[in-house]
Structure 1
């Protein structure tokens, strides 16, 4: 049964030094979506060399802006095809989207802008959402889009929602955009497997005691289109056991899917 994980590594070189390589050596995932590598293709290959020597296959979209963005997909078997970017002149080379075909489904890794309310950074995020949303709603295949969406969809998806009503990541326009994707047929499979509960959160600020108090945000999603959504059977946020065991400010979000009967 395919097992797919996603994690924002918050800098691939630092994460590799702090524990990512050990996690890759122990995970049961067949496919791992990476975000915010903040590195060139060559640098990512060097950072992940032990994992690649152990058999992981890497596809990566390096960012055009040095030290920002960067997304990749690690897989146990080589994908049949890889596509970087989507139908966008502005964001095609931004290192924010990559997709790969496997057997009877496609897996994509996405890194949505964090934004900043009331600034040009938020305007850029909205332009990205508009173009990316148009691309996603045209799809009809079995597709897993996993990554750091930088949007908490509902009040259940962040601890301090009352204090973030005017914050980027929880603005009405952002949350409505997720609504539109769900209305178009995408399924938030982690929420589907954890209904009616707060979280499970996947990101905690390094500031203060956010991690210790589990004052987090659920912003790392698997949004799934097609038959594969009905086959999600287990979802787990692989939260570190202690603050000093973290190798990113995000935790891997891992979903196991049943095999197709066809």
Structure 2
């Protein structure tokens, strides 16, 4: 089973940059997209409904903002749109597809980089997300929580870690929160296979960050412990540039 997660930073922009042509060659079973920045009504073109996939979108109420999507080869038994939290659901941050005992989700964790108010919102999200995730560790299902978590977990996960310890996305409280999720049993699927440094999924548009690989690893596939043994191969696709993020591709030894 191949699962791809990708922050498109505008799905229409990513389409213009060739994302869907690339995707058609990837043989993905499930594709999770964040930051669609579009209303479903604006995506009438067939390119946004790839052939052979069951497609679901969950939009933010605000136009041109946030939004998540999920494509799957297999028809889901159920699609869950949102957390059931009015404030975050208005921002279109969570979409989950269920297939038998497998659940795959596309999540877009808020950024706090615009200031203290949004950082406080991010902390509030993290607190609720903890309680949302916890029962999923023991519900008998297999979970893959894909998306932009907007946190670089460890120093290895960003280039300039020393200079970013007071910046949103690498604050001690955020990193400790990730520590706690993994201590509870959740698994950073990428790091099971690849422990190398300089493995990034996002680069600032400022300067030559991407050309010089001055990046952050903030896009994850976080899986329940009962999927750890199934993690097979991982890859961050950087040969083409569809967004300021790169697609994260993980193969699982799991039937789909």
**TM-score of Structure 1 vs Structure 2, range by shorter chain:** over 0.9
For the 8 Å contact 1:25–1:51, the answer to whether it is kept is: no
Q: Quick check: 1:178 aligned with 2:173?
A: no
Q: Output the CA distance in 1 between the equivalents of 2:191 and 2:3.
A: 16
1:132-151 equivalent positions in 2, closer than 5 A: 132-139=129-136, 140=138, 141-151=141-151
Q: Output the CA distance in 1 between the equivalents of 2:6 and 2:115.
A: 28
Q: Output the CA distance in 1 between the equivalents of 2:133 and 2:160.
A: 30
Q: Output the CA distance in 2 between the equivalents of 1:53 and 1:18.
A: 16
For normalisation by structure 2, the TM-score amounts to 0.94
Q: Output the CA distance in 1 between the equivalents of 2:172 and 2:84.
A: 25
Q: Output the CA distance in 1 between the equivalents of 2:170 and 2:76.
A: 35
Select which of 77, 82, 86 maps to 2:79: 82
For normalisation by structure 1, the TM-score amounts to 0.92
Number of aligned positions between the proteins: 252
Give the SS at the match of 1:123: helix
Q: 1:184 to 1:53 in 2, by over 3 A?
A: closer
Q: Output the CA distance in 2 between the equivalents of 1:254 and 1:53.
A: 18
Paired position in structure 2 for 1:158: 158
1:5-84 equivalent positions in 2, closer than 5 A: 5-44=4-43, 46-47=44-45, 49-50=46-47, 52=49, 54-84=51-81
Give the SS at the match of 2:32: strand
Greater shift in the superposed pair: 30-39 or 114-123: 114-123
Paired position in structure 2 for 1:251: 246
Give the SS at the match of 1:138: helix
Structure 2: 5+ residue runs without aligned partners? none
